[in-house]
Amino acid sequence: MYLYETHMHTSPVSACAIVSPAAQVHAYKRRGYTGIIITDHFVNGNTGCPRNLSWSKKMEFFSNAYVKAKKAGDSCGLDVFFGWEYSIHGSDFLTYGLSIDFLLAHPEIERMDIEEYSAIIRSSGGYIAQAHPYRTGEWIASPYPVSPCLLDGVEVFNASIAEHFNKKALDFACEHGLAMQAGSDSHSENLHFASGIVLQKKAESIHDIINALKMKQAKLILLE
């Protein structure tokens, strides 16, 4: 079995995180994970990226966490994949399958609504899943899922939020036949419980993870 983290953050790219990319890598390696997807907050969300930078400099800042994590992962034997968490009025969308070159080529992506964002991500070969869709907070304009036609998947278990939010997300995903995933949403290396998914085959690329999610071949790591 091969364990993968699907939702995690590092400092300073995610303003809310208190752990470096390398420290996260070593923490997951100690937990027995095969790989992680770096999903730092994008530059339109809870980011540590200075707002006054040029687009290329923003993307350099944003991708630096992945570069550092990949280097650490290569050294210790943990696979590291590139992703991000896109924010629209407080709602968050885990995005996989596209590269930093894609982001560099699309500066307009920073200000898209969910319809525009979903269209460009999916038409470009990417995958989008709404993270913790029912989570509430004063910064969240609408604590509900977006239209299922805009999504590939849903985070049905987030280890960092209340269980009743996860139950609603699971019901939504089941009702609409969407891919289901679990994640820790870790912001620190000191987690009491690490979530994610289990695959029967080792993922050679992020697209292997995406395909396993879409084909419902990923086992979710849940609290008992």
Residue 37 belongs to a domain with what CATH number? 3.20.20.140
Q: Range with the lowest mean pLDDT among 43-47, 165-169, 188-192? A: 188-192
CB 94 within 8 A of CB 129: yes
**Arithmetic mean of pLDDT, 98-125:** 98
pLDDT band at 223 (very low <50, low <70, confident <90, very high): confident
Task: Compute the distance between CA of residue 7 and CA of residue 125 in angstroms, rounded to an integer.
Answer: 20
Going by DSSP bridges, is the β-strand pair 219-221/179-183 parallel, antiparallel, or unpaired? unpaired
Residues sharing a CB contact under 8 Å with residue 156, sequence separation 6 or more, in sequence order? 166, 169, 170, 173, 180, 181, 182, 220
Q: What pLDDT was estimated at residue 80?
A: 98
Domain that holds residue 100: 2-221
Q: What pLDDT was estimated at residue 192?
A: 77
pLDDT band at 224 (very low <50, low <70, confident <90, very high): low
pLDDT band at 140 (very low <50, low <70, confident <90, very high): confident
pLDDT tens per residue, range 22-68: 999 999 999 999 999 999 999 999 999 999 999 999 999 999 999 99
The three-state secondary structure class of 56 is helix
**Arithmetic mean of pLDDT, 186-193:** 88
**Arithmetic mean of pLDDT, 168-187:** 97
Q: What angle do CA 137, 139, 144 make, to 5 degrees?
A: 60
pLDDT band at 73 (very low <50, low <70, confident <90, very high): very high
**In terms of pLDDT, which residue wins out, 11 or 194?**
11
Going by DSSP bridges, is the β-strand pair 127-131/153-158 parallel, antiparallel, or unpaired? parallel
Q: What pLDDT was estimated at residue 8?
A: 97
Domains held by the chain: number = 1
| Residue that has been written with the tokens 């820790």 in this structure | 184
Amino acid at 162: A
Distance of CA 18 to the CA centre of its chain: 17
Residue 221 per-residue DSSP state: E
The three-state secondary structure class of 220 is strand
Q: pTM for this structure?
A: 0.97
Give yes or no for residue 206 having a pLDDT over 90.
Answer: yes
Q: How many CB atoms lie within 10 A of CB 85?
A: 22
Residues sharing a CB contact under 8 Å with residue 104, sequence separation 6 or more, in sequence order? 55, 56, 59
Amino acid at 210: I
**How far apart, in Å, are the Cα atoms of 170 and each of 54, 156, 206?**
39, 5, 23
Angle between helix 21-30 and helix 55-76 axes, rounded to 10 deg: 30
Q: List b or e across 87-116, with b for residues whose CB sees 16 or more CB atoms inside 10 angstroms.
A: bbebbbbbbbbbeeeebeeeeebeebebee
**Arithmetic mean of pLDDT, 100-107:** 98
